[in-house]
A and B are shown apart, each in its own frame.
Chain A
């Protein structure tokens, strides 16, 4: 591992100045991904600016019913937060589906969004990877790509974003509050992660040196009926083969409104807007749900080893919508 200087900051502006001042500086959050990447030689920062002691560790209810989550709130604290559990169960369930108890105690909200893909070729410095070394080539395109993208990929990169949390957040229209060298701004989470295109090394729209300070979730009353479903190769402590976030609002057997998120299918947490549009105003039936998922998945282009993800995501979406709809029409549940 390359030797690095270590600085600890308790002021966000000072932290940004430190990182923006050096091209090979990086922020250190919980370290669950970055420290590993440093051991692997994938990340080689010369300066680490520890942001875990910034005053950004609170979860604040907003007057309109939304929520502002500080960037250094740990994943386990957020998942256990009473307001999150009550008003945004999809977020709590997504967080709890990720990693292990120890890692959730360490990982921060900001770091979760900025974690890197677990594509095996990205993590192996002996193999070509355009994300690690632009122009190097993609080993995954013709290699072992079972776990990789089916949507939005490019010939330069077929990596997926590994976060569970971000799948729930993109469904909830979350906004990322950032502090950049030029000042503070808001970035909708749906626009925060880029598709790979020609520049898979550029993963987000965050300016160089930019720091995530918070994530804001707007009020969404019907998110009280929401959930997250994750398919993976073992029952716990594994990245998703595919996952769905769903919030459903029914009225008289019709879909009044719906929010969807798909995980492990693309370079960013995927917001299936075509499927959402196909559902609104339609009867809440298994057939409608299937047609909506298929409409979004018409654009999917499977790789050599991951065609299974298309029916997997379709079935996860349909089953989760059916379960939520049954929940909503169960008289015992309706007034809960």
Chain B
């Protein structure tokens, strides 16, 4: 006779709301969101960390939720695409995606949005990327090469990349709420 699967209590804050769950240890953060909290914005594209459609912000940093066991994120503060709009108003980055026609089928979009928010925060912190010429000085603004390199973890099978880049470039110029005050 096989033993029942090992389970653990998991506490998460998701888009500012606290949840207490009891999950099979094998449950990823992505499956916890989609299957247990009915938050299906984060998408399961490859489920192997290669496509980026599951990207969420965990404790303010962009991560691939398909490669995090929910139990390992216990106590974490999570923001998914459902947490971006406020009082029925799209987040400025979302508005830029609409204005720039930055998606076709939309499957990768929630991952692109969360990734871009995390990425813009990394840029504001002065984190370099592999295309940053002067490592010590840091990135020289929100340039297209910097955006493209930093967004390489998010694939778009419709290849809306040029519009995604221009949407992010514009979003970087408008006043965006800092990550800590997303909610």
Contacts and interface: CB of A to CB of B under 8 A. Distances in A.
B153 A106 contact: no
Contacts of A101: 62, 115, 118-119, 122, 150-153
A102 B63 contact: yes
A100 B126 CA distance: 17
Interface string B124-154: 0111111010011000000000001111111
B77 interface: no
A103 interface: yes
B87 interface: no
B25 A102 contact: no
A308 interface: no
Given A103-B64, A236-B149, A6 B28 contact: no
A82 B128 CA distance: 10
A106 B8 CA distance: 22
Contacts of A89: 135-136
Given A32-B49, A32-B67, A102-B62, A96 B25 contact: no
B49 A237 contact: no
A31 B63 CA distance: 11
Contacts, number: 113
A141 interface: no
A80 B132 CA distance: 12
Interface residues of A, number: 37
A97 interface: yes
A3 B130 contact: no
A28 B72 contact: yes
Interface in A95-110: 96-97, 99-103, 105-106
Nearest to B2: A3
Interface in A50-95: 50, 52, 76, 79-80, 82, 85-86, 89, 92-93
A5 B6 contact: yes
Most buried by B among A1, A48, A50, A96: A96
Contacts of B115: 101-102
A31 B6 contact: no
A237 B63 contact: no
A92 B127 CA distance: 11
Q: Assign chain B's interface to a size class.
A: 35 or more
Contacts of A50: 72
B71 interface: yes
A236 B154 CA distance: 11
Interface in B19-41: 24-26, 28
A186 interface: no
B128 A96 contact: yes
A6 B6 CA distance: 8
A36 interface: yes
A6 B23 CA distance: 12
A8 B135 CA distance: 36
B127 A80 contact: yes
Contact of A4 (B26, B49, B126, B132): B26
Given A1-B26, A3-B3, A92-B128, A237 B72 contact: no
B68 A31 contact: yes
A234 to B, nearest CB: 8
Contacts of B25: 3-6, 48
Interface centre among B8, B132, B151, B153 (most CB of A within 10 A): B153
Interface in A1-47: 1, 3-6, 8, 28, 30-32, 35-36, 39
Interface of A: 1, 3-6, 8, 28, 30-32, 35-36, 39, 48, 50, 52, 76, 79-80, 82, 85-86, 89, 92-93, 96-97, 99-103, 105-106, 235-237
